[in-house]
Structure 1
Amino acid sequence: MRLTCDIDIASRLLPSQGLAGKSKSIRASLSIGKRPGTDSKEGVIFLLVCTAKDKTGTKYRLKDNVEQFFTKFIAEGKATVRLKDPQQDLRINKADPVQLKNFLSAIRLAHQNTGLDKLQLTPLTKAKTSQVEKPQTRMVVMKQRDYPLTKAFPSTLESLKISHCALTRIEYRILGLKKLTVLDMSHNQIRTLPSSVEHLVSLTELHLPCNQLSEFPAGLCKDPFKSNLEVLDLSENKLKMLPPAICGLANLVNLKIEKNEIMRLPQAIGRLQGLKFLCSSHNQIKTLPAGFIRLSLDTIDLFGNPFLDDGPSTAMSRLEFPTLLELASRMIKRYRLPYNENEIPKPLCDYLDSAKRCLCGTPCFQSSVHYLARADLHRVASTVISLDQRGRVHAPIEAFLCSQRCHDRYQNNPNALWHKK
């Protein structure tokens, strides 16, 4: 029986001699067995601890030699075996909880010298290098000649950076890394993202700057990305828009989309309540959506966009009386009733999908007033990068008003714009 884990061996005699007794956990391979050539009837079983510095290992007799087990945190892969001779504590951590539980049960049987026929004993031989090496959690490839073409990526990777390798896609070997939390594929030639990127179930940071992306798939805004993703860097690509579904990334903290060709931000961007850093400089944005004012940012950078010049708040269209179609559609959107093309005609689905939100929160369609106001970005973020060389910090907000009541409220009282719903 063998267990791979980290181990910290602490002597209980050192404190009595005035020594600190501090030690450091190291990667180890633990096995239970008998010495080669030992008569199987003797029942003398040993615990062998092998490390990278001592692959031959140190043997500990187990029969009547365990003083106590500490298993309070066994579910976290942690436990301590207190030996009588020598007076040492074997502190085990970073072990598989199930394997650790079975391993401790085997040590208990060997200590009690009972049920030895049930034990799966392992030859007490020198450990292999792979058994005592610390698992690789971080990998950086900065040159094309260093990119592994045939060798698999270590399954233990938590952070992977591959830059300047002229890659045109994210290949399947990377998509199978279940423990990956940070993926940086900057400065490549990636044109599309496969839907199977969602198989990276632990990913919290995705860095894709300086590639050739023309779109960010809406499918990547679903779980697990929806719940896990905190940092998304799509800067210096060829994006013309962001999918509305990106506003569903509930835990997104940092969004970088500068130096693209984006013409407008999603209407529902205000749903990103966890967003703290937004950089969308050097795009083609002329106005901001009304939902933008619901953000609460630490830093915002919108420099270099062709925003419309500041001016008085204006209503740019005439309010029409809502049709029966619009009234019914407003109710469907307001109460979030499900719909699809199997239940209603596709033109109606398209109509429902075209819904806009009034500043009061009511969904609206044709019967709405196109409203343009200006907003001080300091009311959205603590730190604001000016919009241009003139130091302008007011940006035009494009909104829609659903009724005469909302028209009167917002047209005659610009401050009402900041009464967040």
Structure 2
Amino acid sequence: MIHTTTDASPTTSPAWQDGHKGTLETGRDLLADVSLPAAVIHEAPLAHNLAWMQDFARRHRAQLAPHGKTTMTPALFRRQLEAGAWGITLATLPQCRAAFAEGATRLLLANQLVGRANMAIAAELLRAGGELYVTVDGRDNVAQLSEFFAEAGLTLPVLIEVGVDGGRCGCRRDEEVIALAREIAARPGLTLAGLEGYEGVVHGDDPAARIRAYAERLVADVRRLEQEGLLGVAAPIVTASGSAWYDLIAEAFRDGGLEGRFTPVLRPGCYVVHDHGIYREAQRGVLSRRPDLHEGLRPALEVYAQVQSLPEPGLAIVALGKRDIGVDQPPEPLVRYREGGDVETPLSVDGWRVTRQMDQHTFIALPRGTDEGRADDVRVGDIVAFGASHPCLTFDKWRRIHLVDERLQVIDTWETRF
């Protein structure tokens, strides 16, 4: 289990717990007392995002199983479940085991379960009372799973993955889906619990239209499985949705005649902290398609680091690198503070531009000018908050992440389970 210090009085942690390992200390000032760089989640936008996406799923008559591989942070799993999530989605069996150990009992593995060592973990979870669903897309995998789980005296719920040409895994043709469903029905140790898909692999001209068609295909396929009596559970699952096109998936599930007979499940993961890059852009698309949603998600994850050197005019080196923050896009300087300063007196980063990153260094081109708060005002030790693109690739660089309030006081420190 996670052990965090909740007493407002700081405790002393050994030096090796600083840096990427963060500290277990709470009640500290991020601008004065925390070793940087540090990954930080802001409580107010986090709470907003949890409530916003849960309400979105509810209004579309769907369940929410957030993709936990984004954060692998059990404290966030608990917050998501407390907000009303139906379960947690994971990408690997060790991730499933870690989530189960922290209290997530309904687990959806959005991948094929391959390899006897991974099957043994799945069996362990089922015997311990876990509700585990895995995906399949071929006869060989079905045969392997059937043999293993029948010998173990267990029944494994499986979801057939529906894929697309040129995509990742999944049955490419609807007839392959039906044939595989019949194969599952004929074998011991397995039960067909529904269909799974991922629209993020759908590309081409007019992606929105293609994704709508893909979602409608999922609905049509699961209804056909029902008509042919191939589904082995009550209220079988139909599930898709990453963090970019969830609105289109939710609409297709809502309008597909599934209510009362099926369990539609949405699986976005990055929504919980959103971002300052690809998902901020994706949300603009969501809000343009759905103006009724008004305000969407808010970025909650940032990485704080300090100016390390001012080696030449117009250049700042920040102690932040590829080992600290995702590099799908260059990190975005958001705001600057004096070390030990007041959150109410932020300094400007207008015109700051990331030009290069190394393992532990970020190169910043500073704007020319002499106005207060601009290039000549930068000092070694200044603290800069950076926004990242694609939070998955920032979370996995940290073992502990600080939760802060609006005054940048650390109110909790959460461990990750990568």
TM-score by length of 2: 0.24
The structure whose RCO (Cα within 8 Å, separation 6+) is larger is 2
* TM-score of the aligned structures, taking structure 1 as reference length: 0.24
